[in-house]
Structure 1
Amino acid sequence: MAASSFAEARSGIVAVGRWLDGKGWAPATSGNYSVRLDDGSFAVTVSGRHKGRLTEDDVMRVDVSGASLDGKKPSAETALHLALYRDFPDVGAVLHSHSSNAVGLTRAFPDLTGWTLQGHEMLKALPGNTTHETRVILPIVDNSQDMAVIDAKMSSLLVKPGSAPAYLIRAHGLYGWGKDLAEAERVIEAVEWMIAAELAEIGFRNGSAA
């Protein structure tokens, strides 16, 4: 785990918001990002901000219960970030993207509770993986307006052997995490790329690709 100062976290979150928006993975005001801080609190994005136009004033601090420490309103999904920090003490940053591919995959296969990624060279971008000759499971949980419901479903799936440091919320988006922002970015980018590649493969097999 690499805990950050609030100043470091703010500048990092602003930069990652612009990067994700540039990828088309943060449309409208979607997405939320967080970093574990060295004082035991967490930096999170303020609710309702466009992630491609974040300023440092759009990043706030919350305590371990999600309560605001500076009077601002945190993202509605802050509880999901805190659940990951609770379950995985080595996690230092959590990112949530909203790509059309991630959403489309879960809508196309509504009964699946996980998607297997295997044989991809990009698997080596995930922490601890040194070969493409492996497989990881990307858990899928149903969406809910109650974060406790998502947390309960997600926590039981992520402890299974072979689970990726990421999961999908059906018809919603992707969560990914790492020891710091840089690792969390690699996880998000690698998983998003593999999802896009899998969908392209399905399209070719079905004869529907351009």
Structure 2
Amino acid sequence: MTDNATTDFVRGAQDIVSAGQRMDARGWVPATAGNISCRLPDGRIAITRSGCHKGFLSVEDVITVDLAGQPHQPQNKPSAETLLHCQVYRLLPNVGAVLHGHSVASTVLSMTEPANALTLEGYEVQKVFEGQSTHEACVQVPLFANDQDIARLAREVEPFFANMPAGYIIRGHGVYVWGRDMRAALARLEGLEFLLACVLERRNLGQ
């Protein structure tokens, strides 16, 4: 690995560590749930190891994989859901970071919503999502059935990538969001989680 590649990896890993701390502080990655990744300048994907608590990450808890999800060092074990991250990077070349969290709101709403998507409408924060310029628009967040066969789940998700500005939710599992870089991805995650919390609170109030 060249000096530049090493420097790029460390920077990417530090972004992942910081994102993990931020997500943990908000209760979105309990226990060892969730995973975080970013695309490095040389095309490698930096991603959290399997089984790491995201609030206590170190640079050593970040590994690299190729776009097929294969680790560059065979002894490293990536998350079981690495293929879902790689799918985003493969289909959306401008994406630089992907976040996956397990919040209470996303879990509860996705398990109780009978439709195939959650509809967000009337909220100013919707404008955090790409292409949204007004609270009057409807933003659909697709819901997909949980599946331990990640390759099969990826095939179910793929046809929807043309219209998922707010990412998507796996039922009873959690959200996937992305952005051009880690800061943008975090902004979208925070926006989505705020809106999901609002929807859940309104339903609890009977609205």
Question: Which TM class, normalised by the smaller chain length?
Answer: over 0.9
Write the letter of the residue equivalent to 1:175: Y
Matches within 5 A, 1:112-123: 112-123=115-126
Match of 1:23 in 2: 26
Q: Percent identity among equivalent residues?
A: 40
Q: Kindly indicate whether residue 109 of structure 2 is the aligned counterpart of residue 105 of structure 1.
A: yes
TM-score (norm 1): 0.91
- In structure 2, runs of 5+ residues without a counterpart are 1-6
- The 3-state SS of whatever aligns with 2:70 is coil
Give 1:40 deviation, angstroms.
Answer: 1.1
Judge conservation of contact 1:139–1:158 (CA < 8 Å) in 2. no
- The 3-state SS of whatever aligns with 1:5 is helix
Distance 2:170 2:130 in 1: 21
Distance 2:199 2:159 in 1: 25
Match of 2:176 in 1: 175
**Match among 127, 151, 155 for residue 124 of structure 1:** 127
CA RMSD of aligned residues (A): 1.3
Give 1:106 deviation, angstroms.
Answer: 0.9
**Match among 90, 95, 111 for residue 91 of structure 1:** 95
Distance 1:33 1:130 in 2: 28
Distance 2:115 2:159 in 1: 15
Write the letter of the residue equivalent to 2:189: I
Q: Kindly indicate whether residue 185 of structure 2 is the aligned counterpart of residue 184 of structure 1.
A: yes
Distance 1:171 1:158 in 2: 21
Match of 2:161 in 1: 158
Match of 1:67 in 2: 70
Judge conservation of contact 1:6–1:43 (CA < 8 Å) in 2. yes
Distance 1:193 1:11 in 2: 25
Distance 1:83 1:9 in 2: 19
Q: Kindly indicate whether residue 51 of structure 2 is the aligned counterpart of residue 48 of structure 1.
A: yes
Matches within 5 A, 1:26-41: 26-41=29-44
- The 3-state SS of whatever aligns with 2:205 is helix
Distance 2:183 2:130 in 1: 11
TM-score (norm 2): 0.93
- The 3-state SS of whatever aligns with 1:159 is helix
Distance 2:122 2:174 in 1: 23
Distance 1:18 1:75 in 2: 18
Distance 2:117 2:152 in 1: 17
- The 3-state SS of whatever aligns with 2:198 is helix
Distance 1:116 1:90 in 2: 26
Q: Kindly indicate whether residue 17 of structure 2 is the aligned counterpart of residue 14 of structure 1.
A: yes
Aligned residues: 200
Judge conservation of contact 2:67–2:89 (CA < 8 Å) in 1. no
Give 1:203 deviation, angstroms.
Answer: 1.6
Q: Kindly indicate whether residue 207 of structure 2 is the aligned counterpart of residue 203 of structure 1.
A: no
- The 3-state SS of whatever aligns with 1:205 is coil
Task: Report runs of 4+ in structure 1 exceeding 4 Å deviation.
Answer: none
- In structure 1, runs of 5+ residues without a counterpart are none
